[in-house]
Structure 1
Amino acid sequence: MLSELTSEVIETMLANQYFGRIGCAADNRILIEPVMYYYDGHFIYGLTRQGTKTQLLNKNPAVAFEIDETISPDIWRSVVIEGVYEELQGEDRDDALFFLRQRKIPVFADEQLGYPGVDSPVRQKVVYPVVYRIRIVSKTGRCYQRSLDFHQAPAAYTE
């Protein structure tokens, strides 16, 4: 049976998950990518590197963000957010990095995240992340749990 998630369940899922998917579109191209994130109750924060995703988002900041929780094929929950992407600078960027550093930030083995004003070892490639937030416009959630009560199943499933 498919049903809507309560706002309390949506908030709990967003606060307790680490990874989601961000979707964006521009120039007749659609992109969906996995991302690590932090949710503070108001915004989705994340970081990435300059590339296709940031190019598309700078052209069209309308974004979709989605998280899932699958217990089994018969039990799952999903939250979808519509929002607006914005790159952060200055104090907003520093505040977001404080929370994001407490998460495992994905980098390649030969890379190190660089931060403005902090010296980095010369032996590693330094990547300066783009820090962003998603300003939430709407949040929806659904869940599915297969009914074990065969008396409620349509006749085609009981024959």
Structure 2
Amino acid sequence: MLIQLGEQESLKLLEEMKIGRMGCCLNDAPYVIPIHYFFDGKHIYVHSLPGRKIEMLRANPNVCLQVDEIKDEYNWRSVIVFGRYEELTAVAEHDTALAMLFRHMPHLTPVEAGMNRQSVQSIVFRIKPDQVTGVCEQWSE
């Protein structure tokens, strides 16, 4: 049976998970990619290298993020966040957010673990949620 999640349940799932699928769109062309993220209760923080997603987000800052926890096809939870892309360009804000991301995501690739402002062109951005919705499927016999 499908059940709507309340706001607190949706935010809790967003906080518990670390990987989601982010969607953006430019010139009627949608683009969805998996991302690592950290949710601090107010914003969703993400780091990236320059590329297609950053170009698209800079041109159209409307974004959505889908996060889920799937036990099996009959027991799962899913949250969708609609919000706005905000690139963190101030050095202190960028570096603080990057350190926070690394602290909360210990299983990074060697490239990600070595990222800093000096060694690569790391981009840190946050998503400011405008709307958060959630649903779950719970099957019991």
- Tell me the CA shift for residue 28 of structure 1: 2.6
SS in 1 for 2:34: strand
Residue number among 129, 134, 137 corresponding to 2:122 in the alignment: 129
- Tell me the CA shift for residue 114 of structure 1: 3.2
Name 2:134's counterpart in structure 1: 141
Cα displacement string for residues 49-98 of structure 1 (whole angstroms, at most 9, x for unaligned residues) = 11010111111000001101001111010000000001102222122112
SS in 1 for 2:99: helix
Q: What amino acid is aligned across from residue 135 of structure 2 in structure 1?
A: R
SS in 1 for 2:98: helix
User: Equivalents in 2 of 1:15, 1:101: separation in Å?
Assistant: 15
User: Equivalents in 2 of 1:73, 1:63: separation in Å?
Assistant: 27
Question: RMSD of aligned C-alpha atoms?
Answer: 1.8
- Tell me the CA shift for residue 127 of structure 1: 2.8
User: Equivalents in 1 of 2:65, 2:57: separation in Å?
Assistant: 13
Cα displacement string for residues 84-119 of structure 1 (whole angstroms, at most 9, x for unaligned residues) = 00110222212211211111334559x942323xxx
User: Equivalents in 2 of 1:43, 1:106: separation in Å?
Assistant: 23
Where in structure 1 do 4 or more consecutive aligned residues deviate above 2 Å?
104-109
SS in 1 for 2:94: helix
Q: What amino acid is aligned across from residue 35 of structure 2 in structure 1?
A: V
SS in 2 for 1:12: helix
Please, which runs of 5 or more residues in structure 1 have no aligned partner? 117-125, 149-159
- Tell me the CA shift for residue 33 of structure 1: 0.4
Please, which runs of 5 or more residues in structure 2 have no aligned partner? none
2:61 is equivalent to residue 54 of structure 1 = no
- Mapped contact 2:25–2:31 kept (Cα < 8 A): yes
Name 1:89's counterpart in structure 2: 89
Write the mapping of 1:20-35 to structure 2, written as runs, cut at 5 A. Answer: 20-35=20-35
TM-score by length of 1: 0.80
The number of equivalent residue pairs is: 138
- Mapped contact 2:95–2:117 kept (Cα < 8 A): no
- Mapped contact 1:36–1:105 kept (Cα < 8 A): no
Q: What amino acid is aligned across from residue 105 of structure 1 in structure 2?
A: L
Cα displacement string for residues 6-48 of structure 1 (whole angstroms, at most 9, x for unaligned residues) = 2221121111111111100002311100000000000000001
